[in-house]
A and B are shown apart, each in its own frame.
Chain A
Amino acid sequence: MVHFTAEEKNAITTIWGKVNVEETGGEALGRLLVVYPWTQRFFDSFGNLSSASAILGNPKVKAHGKKVLTSFGDAVKNLDNLKGTFSKLSELHCDKLHVDPENFRLLGNVLVIVMAAHFNKEFTPEVQAAFQKLVTGVANALAHKYH
C-alpha cells in the first residue's frame, strides 16, 4: 500500500488546487492518444482521431479527459485509501472495459509531463516525486480488482 508523508500530501493538495481539471484532463488524454497511438483502441466511438490536432480538438476526448481527471481528484481527497476509492472503477475497467493496466501507468506519466509543462518552477523534483507516487498508487488501485 502506498504511504504519503505529510510533505507529499501537502505538495499534492497544494498543486492540485491549482489544476484546471477540464483542460488538463483533455490535454493528458489527448497526448496519451497521440504519443501512444495504440491506446486509441479503446475509443473507436470517439470519431476523428486521425491527427494530433484532430485528437486534441476532439470534443469527446476533452469530455472524457475531464471525467478521468475528476476521478483523479477523488484520489487526491482520499490519499490514505486509494484501493477503496477505486474499487468499483477497478472492477469496471476489468470486467466491462477490458483495459490493460499498463495504460493506467502510461496515462499517469503523461499527466506528470503535462503538469510539469503547466507548473514549471513549482514542479520541483520533490513535487514530481510526490505525484509519481500518486499516479503509481492510482494505477495500482485501478488494477487491484483485476482477475
Chain B
Amino acid sequence: MALSAADKCNVREFWEKLGENTKVYGTEALVRTFLCFPETKTYFPHFDLSRGSRQVQAHGKKVADALTLAVSHLDDLPASLSSLSELHAHRLKVDPINFKLLSHCLLVTLARHHPGNLNPEVHASLDKFLSYVASVLTSKYR
C-alpha cells in the first residue's frame, strides 16, 4: 500500500501544522497506548510509567522526532529509517502488532488536538503513512 502523491502532500501539510507540539503528542500517544493496551508496557520494565514520567516524555520526543524525520523523507523511507529498522529487528524486537496500537493512539491524539485538520482524506493518508513506517521498522525482522 504505497503512498500516493496526494498522501505525501496530506502528510507533509498536516505534520507541518503540528510544529513543536509533536513532542507533546508523541508523549500523549505513548500514555494512551500504555493505558489502553497494558500489554505494551511489557517492553518498558525499566521505565517509570507513572503519569508525568520524564522517561516517558523523553521517549515520546524520540518517537515524535523519528516520525518528523520520516515525514521529511517520504520518498526514501526505508533508507532514512534504516538504522531504526536494524535497532527494532536486532535489539528491541517489539512484536509488530504494537506498532498498530501506537499508531492508533497517535491518531486519537491528533484527532483530539486537531479535529478540524483531520478530515477523512488526511486521516486515510496518515493511517497509510504510519502503517508504512511500521512496515519499514519491521522489515528486517526475518
Q: Which residues of A are in contact with B by a Cβ distance under 8 Å?
A: 30-31, 34-35, 52, 55-56, 109, 112-114, 116-121, 123, 125-126, 128-129, 132
Contacts and interface: CB of A to CB of B under 8 A. Distances in A.
Nearest to B112: A116
20 contacts: A30-B120, A31-B120, A34-B124, A35-B120, A52-B121, A52-B124, A112-B108, A113-B111, A113-B123, A116-B109, A116-B111, A117-B115, A117-B118, A120-B115, A125-B32, A126-B35, A128-B32, A128-B35, A128-B36, A129-B32
Given A52-B119, A117-B118, A132-B36, 10 more contacts: A113-B108, A113-B118, A116-B115, A120-B113, A125-B35, A125-B36, A128-B36, A129-B35, A129-B36, A132-B37
A47 B35 CA distance: 40
Contacts of B36: 125, 128-129, 132
B37 to A, nearest CB: 7
A120 B115 CA distance: 8
A34 B35 contact: no
Interface residues of B, number: 22
- Interface SS, A side: helix
Looking at chain B's contact residues, the main secondary structure is helix
B32 A109 contact: no
Nearest to B105: A128
Nearest to A32: B120
A31 B123 contact: yes
A49 to B, nearest CB: 12
A123 B119 CA distance: 18
A35 B111 contact: no
Interface string B125-141: 00100000000000000
